[in-house]
Chain A
Amino acid sequence: MTVLAILAFAGVLAVVAFDWLHRTKAALVGAGVVVIAGVFGIDEAITAVDWETLGLLVGMMIIVGLTERTGIFTYLALRVAQLSRGRPFRLVFLLAGTTGVLSAFLDNLTAILLVVPITLLLADSLDVDPIPLVMTEILASNIGGTATLIGDPPNIMIGSHVRELSFVDFIVNLGPVSLVTLVLGTGLVYLFFRGKLDVDPARAREVAALDPAEDVRGRPHVKRSIAILLGTIVGFFLHTPLGLEPAVVALAGATLLLVVAADDIEEALERVEWGTIFFFIGLFVLVGALESRGVIERIAEGVNAITGDSVGGQSIGILWIAALGSAAVDNIPFTAAMIPVVDELQAGEDFNDAQWWALALGACFGGNATMIAAAANVAAVGVLERTGHAISFVRFLVIGVPVTLLSLVIATIYLLLFQV
C-alpha cells in the first residue's frame, strides 16, 4: 500500500511534468486510485483536503472575476504603460511593477491573464516584440505573488495550513525580499532584451493619446466591485485582530460581491476555475495518502539527514529543494507535499517561521525557472501561442533559469541574514 501511494503521487507528478494528461484529470485519477485501492478510506481522504485553501481560492476567484468585468485592470495596465512615454527601461519596470502588485493582491495567474492581452495590444501599437514584455510580466507575477498570503498558490496553501502565520506576517517577512528580487530580476530581463525594445516616438505618442477610462465608464457595478475588492484586502490585513481566517475574509467578500454586483449568479460562479479546485482536491488526497503511510515522515528524515538539525541548514535546504521540485514539476503539487514535510521537521520543536518562509520563497521563485513550473507561466505561454507568438521551452529556460538562480541567491542571503 505504501508503494502504491508513492507510485500514485510520483505518477501524477510525471504526467503533469510531461503534459501527458491534463493536470486535473491526472490528480483525480491518482486520488481515485489510492482511495479505491484502500490505501486510505474516504473519511480520511475528505479530512486530508484542506478546505481553507479551497475556500480562499474560490473566494478570490469570484472577487477577481467579478471585478475584472469592470475593466479597471485593463485601465490600470494601459495607464501605467502610458506613463512610460515609450521609454523601454520605464516600460519594462512599470509593467513589472504593475504585474507584481496585481499578482500580490489578486494572485499571479489572474494577474497574468489580465495584463498579457493588454500588453500584446501595447506591443502591437508600439511596434515592439511582445515576448520581452510578457516574459518580464511572467517573472514579475511569480516574484510579486511571493510577497503576500494570497499572491501565489504555494502561499495560499501555506497560509491556510499554518494558523500562526497571518497576512501581515507574510508581507513583513516576504514583501521586502520580493521587492528586491523584483527590481533585480527585472533589471536582468531588461539587460537581456534591451536591444529589442526600441520604441518609435510617434507610436508612443499614439499610445499616450488613448483614453483608458473609456472602457470603465458606463460599466455596471464599477464602484461597488472595486470597493469590495479593496475592503477584502483590508480584511486580510486585519484578519488576525478580527479573529477571522483568510478564507473567511475572501468568502465574505465574494458573497457580498455576489449579492450586490452579480446580476446572474450562474454566470458569476463560472468565474471559479473548477479545474484548479479539483486539481487541489486530488493533490490533497494524494499527499494525505503519503502522510498516512508514513512516507512524509521518511522524507522529513531524509531532509534532516541532508541538511542537519540546524534551523538554518534546514531552511536553506527547503528553499533549494522546493525551488528545484517546483521548477521540474509544478509548484502546487510540490508545495502540497512539502507542507507536511515541514510539519514533520518541526514536530516536537518550538514553532519556527523561517522554514515556512523558505518553502514559500523556494516554491514561488522556483516557479520562474521553466514554462511549466507555475500555473501563470502555463497560462501566459498559452496566450502567446494562441496569438502567434509561441515561445519554446528552451527559450523560456534561457531567461527563466538565470532569474530563478538570482532570486534564490537573494533568498538564501535573506534567510541567513534575517531569518535564522
Chain B
Amino acid sequence: MAVLRDLTVDAAVPDTATFGEAVEALTRTDAAVVAIVDADRRVVGLLDERQLLRGLFPAYLGELKHTAFADDDVESIRERRVRAAAQPIRELMAEPVTVEADASLTHVAERFMHCALEGLAVVEGGRYKGVIDLDVFVRAIRDE
C-alpha cells in the first residue's frame, strides 16, 4: 500500500514571495500545488492552477456568476499578467489545507473530497514537509 510520505514532493515558496515567483515554482517543480510557508515553516497558503487564474483574470470574476456575454481583451489580460507577477503571493493564495505526514490514505481522500484544490500540503508537527498532488494520489491508489 502506498505511504503518504512516498507520494510527497517539495514545492514551497516563502510567504514574502511574489505571485510571479510562486508561479515560477509551480512550473519548475511540476507539482499541482505550491505551499506558501512562513519563517517558522508553517503553511500559510496554497497556490494551484485555479488560484493562478485569480491572478491572471480580474478579481471581480470571482463575484460574477453570469459571464457568457463577456468578451476577451487580450491586451488587458497581458497587462494584468505583468501586474500580478509583482503582487505579493499573500494577496492571491488560497487558504491552506493540510494533512499530517502519517495520516491515513482514507483521511487524505476525505480531505481531497472536501476541498477544491488540486493538491494539499503535508505537515509534520505543524511544519511543512511537502505537497501531494491529487492526480499522484489517485494514480497511487488506482495502481495498488
Contacts and interface: CB of A to CB of B under 8 A. Distances in A.
Interface in B68-101: 68-71, 73, 76
B63 A117 contact: yes
Categorize the interface residue count of chain A: 20 to 34
Contacts of B68: 71, 214-215
A120 B69 contact: no
Contacts of B126: none
A163 interface: no
A55 B65 CA distance: 27
Interface in A111-127: 116-118, 120-121, 124-125
Given A71-B66, A74-B66, A215-B66, A117 B60 contact: yes
B70 A210 contact: yes
Most buried by A among B60, B63, B70, B71: B60
A210 B65 CA distance: 16
A383 B63 contact: yes
A362 B73 CA distance: 45
B69 A387 contact: no
Nearest to A121: B60
Interface in A172-222: 206, 209-215
A388 interface: yes
A69 B66 CA distance: 9
A116 B59 CA distance: 13
Contacts of B71: 125, 206, 209-210
Contacts of A71: 65-66, 68
B62 interface: yes
A250 B124 CA distance: 53
B70 A118 contact: no
Contacts of A210: 69-71
Nearest to B91: A388
A231 to B, nearest CB: 23
A214 B62 CA distance: 19
A116 B66 contact: no
Contacts of A121: 58, 60, 64, 67, 70
Given A206-B71, A215-B68, A124 B63 contact: no
Contacts of A78: 69
A211 B62 contact: no
Nearest to B76: A124
Given A210-B71, A211-B69, A212-B69, A387 B64 contact: no
Interface of chain B: mostly helix, strand, loop or mixed: loop
Interface string A68-80: 1101001100100
A395 interface: no
A387 B58 CA distance: 8
Nearest to A69: B65
Contacts of A209: 71
A215 B64 CA distance: 12
Q: Give the residue among B63, B65, B71 with the most A Cβ atoms within 10 A.
A: B63
A163 to B, nearest CB: 38
A214 B64 CA distance: 15
A387 B57 CA distance: 11
B58 A124 contact: yes
* Most B C-beta atoms less than 10 A away, residue of A121, A125, A214, A388: A121
Nearest to B59: A387
Nearest to B63: A117
Contacts of A120: 58, 60, 63
Contacts of A214: 68-69
Contacts of A74: 64-66
B66 A388 contact: no
Contacts of B63: 116-117, 120, 383, 386-387
Contacts of B65: 68-69, 71, 74
26 contacts: A69-B65, A71-B68, A74-B64, A75-B66, A78-B69, A117-B64, A118-B64, A120-B58, A120-B63, A121-B60, A121-B67, A121-B70, A124-B58, A125-B71, A206-B73, A210-B69, A210-B70, A211-B69, A212-B69, A214-B69, A215-B66, A215-B68, A383-B60, A383-B63, A386-B62, A386-B63
Given A210-B71, A215-B66, A386-B63, 16 more contacts: A71-B65, A71-B68, A75-B66, A116-B63, A120-B60, A120-B63, A121-B58, A121-B70, A125-B71, A125-B73, A206-B73, A209-B71, A214-B69, A215-B69, A383-B63, A387-B62
Complex A-B, nearest 5 residue pairs according to Cβ-Cβ distance, in ascending order: A120-B60, A117-B63, A215-B66, A71-B66, A387-B59
Interface of B: 58-60, 62-71, 73, 76
